[in-house]
Structure 1
Amino acid sequence: MSVVAIIGVALAHLLAAISPGPSFVLSIRTAATEGFRPAAGLALGFGIGAALWAFAALAGLALLFEVLPPLFLVLKIGGGLFLLWLAFKMWRHADEPMPQVAPDVPPRGTLSAIRLGVVTQLANPKPAIFFGAVFVGLVPPDAGWDVKALILFNILWVETLWYLFTARVFSLSRPRAIYGHAKSWLDRGMGTILGALGVKVALG
């Protein structure tokens, strides 16, 4: 049963990870404008953030949200405001050149990218509800922490590997060149999408 639980959670999480959301938008933009290394750091941050939400769900946070709805509301509003702030920054810097044509503007450091990835993931408390629902359906109540640790490890790497793939694709020269030619419009478009997702997180 533990093997079934691990595989089932991994598949459910993979489907959730590849669906477009704030992390996907941020990953594409970072890879295209700053290159693979910052986007890879972002990917690891997303993985850590997903694992933290999964751990919180295993520890009963989803149940706590049901008992204390105001706590969930506060986290949603705070997370939505953070995503709106990121969207505002995209709009604000939309007309700035790509880093490779402005060498005095260095790409984001790896640790900074990891930190941004973690904070972006934690800005949306809905994964705790998602993982809570998945765990109730797939993880046996008597599962030991060895099984739970494997589940958390899988969640960390499924999330990270998916966004590493995204980072690699959009950091290649051809996608970066296309992005560079339309950066102003693309940044505003993705900023608008990220802002809409922020509103959805806060009010959804």
Structure 2
Amino acid sequence: MTYLLPLLGLAAVHLMAAASPGPSFVVVAQTAVGSGRRAGLLAALAMMLGAVAWAAAALYGLQALFARFEWLYLAMRIGGGLYLLYLAVMLWRHAPEPLSEPSAAGHNKTGAAQGFVRALLLQLGNPKVMVFFGSIFLALLPAHPPPWMQAATLAIVAFNEFTWYALITLLFSGGPARSIYRRAKFWLDRIMGGALALLGLRLALLSR
């Protein structure tokens, strides 16, 4: 029970954070509705891998490195913000193009690979994810968690991240969602591009 309650608290807090709207939601939803379910699930997998990488970094001390070398944290934050701005520009530029149907095998593979890389770079380009994990780990976990508890922590992060974004994928890759997106693609892409641009500026310019 000594270890169970902190892990349950961690699972609840992290799931609420994962479910909060942000650039990850926008990217996974746009990938699912634009490139299909397979691409969306691979994007969900990428979000999971990126989150686990940052969670492991928080567990094993990279946060202390960022605290010692603030320029490194600043450089990664600015890089992540610029990447979000790049995604925003791409969405804005391609908004007038019609929605392509992922029917051919080659198209499916290309869209899925692009969705995976885009989502992974997005997640790894946001060092605030590690700061979040470092904060909740300090607040909820014991000072020196045993190795099995560290493994359980990473497993919880992986399960929450993939499950949430897989649900987003299933919701947005369905026929009704694609039909709505097809009809309103221009304005939806412009809105999502604007949201990513604002989030990118916020990541690059605001302090911790």
Task: Please indicate the TM-score interval, normalised by the length of the shorter structure.
Answer: over 0.9
Which of 155, 163, 166 is the equivalent residue of 2:165?
163
Aligned residue for 1:3?
Answer: 4
Aligned residue for 1:14?
Answer: 15
Distance 1:33 1:172 in 2: 11
RMSD in angstroms over aligned alpha carbons? 1.8
The TM-score with structure 1 as length reference comes to 0.94
Which ranges in structure 1 are unaligned for 5 or more consecutive residues?
Answer: none
Sequence identity percentage: 40
- 1:84-104: CA deviation from partner (whole Å, max 9, x where unpaired): 111111111111111129969
- 1:38-63: CA deviation from partner (whole Å, max 9, x where unpaired): 00000010011001000000011222
Distance 1:15 1:194 in 2: 21
Aligned residue for 2:57?
Answer: 56
The TM-score with structure 2 as length reference comes to 0.92
Aligned residue for 2:125?
Answer: 123
Aligned residue for 2:201?
Answer: 199
Alignment of 1:14-163 (within 5 A): 14-100=15-101, 106-107=107-108, 108-163=110-165
Structure 1 residue matching 2:21: 3-state secondary structure: coil
Task: Tell me if structure 2 keeps the 8 A contact 1:99–1:105.
Answer: no
Task: Tell me if structure 2 keeps the 8 A contact 1:22–1:197.
Answer: yes
Distance 2:100 2:184 in 1: 14
Task: Tell me if structure 2 keeps the 8 A contact 1:99–1:106.
Answer: no
Task: Tell me if structure 2 keeps the 8 A contact 1:44–1:160.
Answer: yes
- Quick one: which amino acid aligns to residue 174 of structure 1? P
Which ranges in structure 2 are unaligned for 5 or more consecutive residues?
Answer: none
Structure 1 residue matching 2:101: 3-state secondary structure: helix
Q: 1:83 to 1:53 in 2, by over 3 A?
A: same
**Number of positions where the alignment pairs a residue of Structure 1 with one of Structure 2:** 204
- Quick one: which amino acid aligns to residue 143 of structure 1? P
- Following superposition, the deviation at residue 192 of structure 1 comes to 0.5
